[in-house]
Structure 1
Amino acid sequence: MNQRTPVRRTVRAAVLVLLVLTTSTGCAGGVEGTPGAAGLRDPYFPKLGNGGYDVTHYDLVLDVDPAAHHLSGTATITARATQDLSAFNLDLAGLTVRSATVEGRPAAVNRAGHELTLRPDAGVGSRLRKGRTFRTVVRYSGTPRTLTDPDTSKEGWLRTADGSVALGEPTGSMAWFPGNNHPSDKASYDITVTVPKSLTAVSNGELTSRRTAGGTATYHWHVAEPMASYLVTVAIGRFDTKTSTTPDGIKVFSAADASVAARSARILARVPEVVKWEAERFGPYPFSATGAIVGRPGDSGYALETQNRPFFPGTPDAGLLVHEMSHQWFGDSVTPESWRDMWLNEGFATYAEWLWEDDKEGRPVQGRFDAAFENDDNWAFPPADPPTAAYISKAPVYGRGAMVIHKIRQAVDDDERFFALVKGWTKAHRHGNASTADFTAYVEKTTGQDLTALWDTWLYGKSRPASKG
């Protein structure tokens, strides 16, 4: 996500009702074990996500009628139990559940707000023991919702002039598929979307097939590498598409709305150049596919780093492209452990812009740092400790987050060692999750320095220091 866009991203602080579930051991029709938690106690969204299991794969099959604003879906969720489960929850906003099964047998479904609670049939109890893998199938339909964040920005399922786009940061994916909606639970995906034949359905990963039948077209996208739910997208519309392969074998798929395709062609042609430049600084590109999706201006109020191919509302400039592509390393591959760690995404992505301008435009990084230091907005709160969920996408997370990275570079005082440190970070947590504590410990171990003063001043300090240091 890029802060220069007009609408800030924040998390929709929805009130989720925690169902009080009793252990069903010995009850007729029950499964031995205890219920999984209805929430993961995220610092800003304690009831987001669910406990008791870890998803390994989502297989989403969607039939979308944009004219009727209707979606029919089947979600097949493969997960591993992390405790003996008698019941577990999924996050789903608004859509109607038609049926649910666990290990092929009907499951009872209760609903409270965004929380679905599934109670498996007694016959599958042994398959929900800790460490066992189980499969859940949820069939659902309805009109997918556009969710409104506290800052009035929109996410979830956004209608466009000729289709729609699904954007999920931070909670929007639950508007169109059920899942464990927290960045700490990453999974691989298969996403199959059927739309009218005149439209194209673009998603994450690699396009493995396209077939037509009657008046419809069906697109199958496969994501082999782990992906957080907030990074999943489906964009439906009249797109011009371009495919190629980089010299390193990375598949490139870009799509631009027909109304902006001509003016977007030049910047989209630079995607391989940006990926190569960033790989030289941050380490090998972490995925098998790349590209971008360019919608119409106004399709959303922000760009978003949807995995493999970021989404842009209108033609981006080079800086915005660099920002969102850098998220493929910072946010998409190395994903925050919780929403408090979002500055690790945005600080690095903003710093990538500074590095690009230095390398390509001759604008020194130090000048960008100095300007950020003088910007009062960057001192509203510490980047690693926003006051509430409504602030996790405000200026300090971006600008002051980038300042933290620059102060680390100054502390290292050797660019070769600094970029080796960055590459080591993306390698150590490739396709995983990491927290701020993980990062500060890693930097101190790698540099051999006690950087308490740096963290206290730049990462956690509540006021601007007297000197840039």
Structure 2
Amino acid sequence: MRFALLFLLLPTALLAQKPRVDFKTIFAAIEINPVKRNVAGTGSYTFDVIDKKIDTIRIDAQKMEFTQVRINGRDVKFKNNQKQLLLYDGFKKGENTLTFHYEAFPTQTMYFVNWDFTADVLNPEELSGQIWTQGQGKYTSHWLPSFDDVNEKAVFNLDITFQKSFEVVANGQLVSRNPSGDNFVWQYRMKDPMSSYLVAIAIGHYEKKMTHSTSGIPLYFYYEDEDKRRYEPTYRYSKEVFDFLEEEIGYPYPWEVYRQVPVRDFLYAGMENTSATIFSRDLVVDSIAYNDRNYLNVNAHELAHQWFGDLVTATSGKDHWLQEGFATYYALLAERKVLGDDDFYWQLLKTAQQLKAAAKTDSVPLWNPKASSLTFYQKGAWALHAIRHRIGREKFNKAVKNYLEKYAFKNVTTDDFLAEVTAVAKFDTDAFKKTWLEAPGFPLAEAEAMLVDESALAKQYVQLRDHKLSPEKDRDEMLKLIRGRVHYPIKELLLYQLLEQPFEVKQPMLSAALKTGDWRVRQAVASTVETIPEGFRAEYETLLNDKSYETQEIALFNLWRIFPDERKRYLELSKNWVGFQDKNLRLLHLSLAYATTEDKAEKFSMYRELLAYTGTNYDSGMQQNALEKLISLDLKTEDVLRSLAYGLGNHRWQFVKFCKDNIRILLKEKKHRDVFIKIRAKLPIREKTQLQRLLEE
């Protein structure tokens, strides 16, 4: 998974159950109702009882109702404690079959996006709602009776009944899609076992394209109709990344098919559900947005998880780095294939510096289930690079291949992997553990020594970072570097080192940077220049035309701020800008235009448009962006406060925190508190409860 801190905790009861009961297959035929927000269906599970002395079999099932519970065709005693289905009798030593009917009302793990606004539309083709699941860290047991213990692996098969106008994506091969009244029944089948958290469903109005990997694996790429022009930039290099990883890892892709589907308002950047990655629609980009925030790294990261996490799964949270560290490192290797060596070493150097900086407050080591995301992902990747650096690429790849072959479809520990390393090379695992797994902080000196040994870019960067050039004494050398063919991080470094210099001293370097034509170097100019003299304005204005929505956003705001006499011209220039999926440029234009014009009718029109983007039918990122603009303009109207209150019910904790933080500030003023009290009565129950808690603080 990308950009999330997740702990795969193992319930004691299930750990005790695993050696005595082994679930083999899980089949569920379900129907999802987006209006009721429920899941109803039947289950047929096979399991082996290894120890007849076991008196209770447990299946995780959060807030579900069960009927017709049978084992081997007979009704059996069971208990439903709203957390687990507990079975007491009817099973025998050896193979057994469990069947049941169930209904679930998931409040997490399965998310219904935009259905509040689309459920009553008469024409199903106009529905824009989506349904998607996110099992890791939340558990699939909220919508499917399953196992929160990652060590219980089974073969999952799903029949999913849903409205005909929608596309339904799940794990495994789609073996049929059969009509059933106004619905289709989508039948997905798998051949090999996996942990429950990797079960996934994504439903929406999608188009798709298909190609094959060099090895013959079908690759499906999904997109919404309105994102047609974004298809190529989004999935750029997807086949190349797949082919590279399969070759570099040395173990064939372990599943029969691979799908990638973007969803709205996803919790994270992406999730590596077995054979079916779900990722954020924010990463569905056009050719300009590709420069700022493309899908390439997340694409490679989630694909690498199909081996590291899905095929072999960490036994416990302590070993979670075996999943995130591997996925992060192989994503870097895939990017190296696409972007070159310099980019690879720059990413490692950059994360090494981030880890060292974070170590000032983060003392939890990598080999700890409470490690941070940065530690699991980036320090985990660095630990693997340290091994690869010491034993060489050939032996490293051999160890990885042996590791995957030996533990395919099983659970693993760190010692399992390190044993495969020592089997192919002389390697001091004790020293490795102490430095990379057990010690807090980050060994920056050792890491940078590796990079300096391997990369001319890293060597030059570290030298320039530690021995700054003087813009007065070393002006010619700085200009030579900026104008030269060195990789962009060197040029960025020089520009950031000029921050405190008087403008007249650094202007030659700034002008040279703008002339490079490199959008990343030019963006560094946009970010580092706080004052723009009139004589530099024309050069700076060229940033407004860069192929980078972030650069355009920075440049527009700075120019509008510094040159009030030119504001109308800048607003005319930017009136049709949109930007990313969250409309960053459109929202900035509206806020600047509101602050510029004195015409009341124009102000009201801009306010209404900004307010519209706070509606819950938009992704929370756009809602937050619009609310930030409205609050900064001091437009704290009843409608704005209502939008903040509705945000309390959002499924994304980041947006909920934003809303809570702002409501707490507003509640300090009686006039705003009175408005929140007024609107509380008409809020849905979840939002009303959250707001009441804030009022009582």
TM-score under structure 1 length normalisation: 0.83
| Equivalent residue, structure 2, for 1:263 | 230
Secondary structure of 2:440 counterpart: coil
On the 8 A contact 1:188/1:225 being kept in 2, the answer is: yes
Deviates more, 1:356-365 or 1:403-412: 356-365
Structure with more contact order per residue of length (Cα contacts < 8 Å, sep ≥ 6): 1
On the 8 A contact 2:213/2:243 being kept in 1, the answer is: no
On the 8 A contact 1:39/1:51 being kept in 2, the answer is: no
On the 8 A contact 2:214/2:243 being kept in 1, the answer is: no
Structure 2 CA distance for aligned equivalents of residues 117 and 77 of structure 1: 14
Aligned length: 415
| Equivalent residue, structure 1, for 2:178 | 211
1:249 Cα deviation from its structure 2 partner? 2.3
| Equivalent residue, structure 1, for 2:161 | 194
For each residue in 1:210-229, what CA deviation from the matched residue of structure 2 results, as whole angstroms up to 9, or x when unmatched?
Answer: 01122111100011122111
- Flag the structure with higher helix content: 2
| Equivalent residue, structure 2, for 1:62 | 30
Structure 1 residue 435 corresponds to structure 2 residue 396: no
Structure 1 residue 325 corresponds to structure 2 residue 303: yes
For each residue in 1:272-330, what CA deviation from the matched residue of structure 2 results, as whole angstroms up to 9, or x when unmatched?
Answer: 3221110111122111111211112x133341001112100112511110111111111
Question: Taking structure 1 as reference, are residues 82 and 238 closer, same or farther at Cα in structure 2, changes over 3 Å only?
Answer: same
1:165 Cα deviation from its structure 2 partner? 0.7
Question: Taking structure 1 as reference, are residues 458 and 72 closer, same or farther at Cα in structure 2, changes over 3 Å only?
Answer: same
Deviates more, 1:345-354 or 1:236-245: 236-245
On the 8 A contact 2:352/2:444 being kept in 1, the answer is: no
The partner residue of 2:194 within 202, 223, 227 is 227
Aligned pairs for 1:206-355 (under 5 A) are 206-268=173-235, 270-283=237-250, 284-296=252-264, 298-314=265-281, 315=284, 317-355=295-333
Gaps of at least 5 residues in structure 1 are 17-36, 42-48, 147-155
On the 8 A contact 2:272/2:302 being kept in 1, the answer is: yes
Structure 1 CA distance for aligned equivalents of residues 398 and 337 of structure 2: 18
| Equivalent residue, structure 2, for 1:2 | 2
Structure 1 residue 39 corresponds to structure 2 residue 39: no
| Equivalent residue, structure 2, for 1:88 | 57
Gaps of at least 5 residues in structure 2 are 115-128, 285-293, 450-697
Structure 1 CA distance for aligned equivalents of residues 212 and 175 of structure 2: 15
| Equivalent residue, structure 1, for 2:602 | none
On the 8 A contact 1:209/1:219 being kept in 2, the answer is: yes
Structure 1 residue 385 corresponds to structure 2 residue 368: yes
Structure 2 CA distance for aligned equivalents of residues 249 and 360 of structure 1: 21
On the 8 A contact 1:254/1:309 being kept in 2, the answer is: no
Structure 1 residue 422 corresponds to structure 2 residue 400: yes
On the 8 A contact 1:103/1:135 being kept in 2, the answer is: yes
Structure 1 CA distance for aligned equivalents of residues 113 and 8 of structure 2: 21
On the 8 A contact 1:73/1:177 being kept in 2, the answer is: no
On the 8 A contact 1:51/1:88 being kept in 2, the answer is: no
Structure 1 CA distance for aligned equivalents of residues 28 and 388 of structure 2: 43
1:13 Cα deviation from its structure 2 partner? 7.3
1:430 Cα deviation from its structure 2 partner? 2.1
1:259 Cα deviation from its structure 2 partner? 4.3
Deviates more, 1:171-180 or 1:340-349: 171-180
| Equivalent residue, structure 1, for 2:652 | none
On the 8 A contact 2:172/2:188 being kept in 1, the answer is: yes
| Equivalent residue, structure 2, for 1:138 | 100
Deviates more, 1:373-382 or 1:398-407: 373-382
On the 8 A contact 2:130/2:263 being kept in 1, the answer is: no
On the 8 A contact 2:70/2:98 being kept in 1, the answer is: yes
Deviates more, 1:337-346 or 1:424-433: 424-433
Structure 1 CA distance for aligned equivalents of residues 409 and 160 of structure 2: 25
On the 8 A contact 1:206/1:251 being kept in 2, the answer is: no
| Equivalent residue, structure 2, for 1:367 | 346
Question: Taking structure 1 as reference, are residues 51 and 439 closer, same or farther at Cα in structure 2, changes over 3 Å only?
Answer: same
Deviates more, 1:227-236 or 1:254-263: 254-263
Identical positions, percent: 24
Secondary structure of 1:139 counterpart: strand
TM-score under structure 2 length normalisation: 0.57
Question: Taking structure 1 as reference, are residues 220 and 266 closer, same or farther at Cα in structure 2, changes over 3 Å only?
Answer: farther
On the 8 A contact 2:319/2:367 being kept in 1, the answer is: yes
| Equivalent residue, structure 1, for 2:508 | none
Structure 2 CA distance for aligned equivalents of residues 261 and 157 of structure 1: 27
Structure 2 CA distance for aligned equivalents of residues 213 and 200 of structure 1: 15
Structure 1 residue 159 corresponds to structure 2 residue 112: yes
**What is the letter of the counterpart of residue 65 of structure 1?**
N
| Equivalent residue, structure 2, for 1:151 | none
Higher-Rg member (1/2):
2
Secondary structure of 1:326 counterpart: helix
Structure 2 CA distance for aligned equivalents of residues 237 and 466 of structure 1: 46
| Equivalent residue, structure 1, for 2:78 | 109
On the 8 A contact 1:271/1:291 being kept in 2, the answer is: no
**What is the letter of the counterpart of residue 55 of structure 2?**
S
Secondary structure of 2:271 counterpart: coil
Question: Taking structure 1 as reference, are residues 464 and 12 closer, same or farther at Cα in structure 2, changes over 3 Å only?
Answer: closer
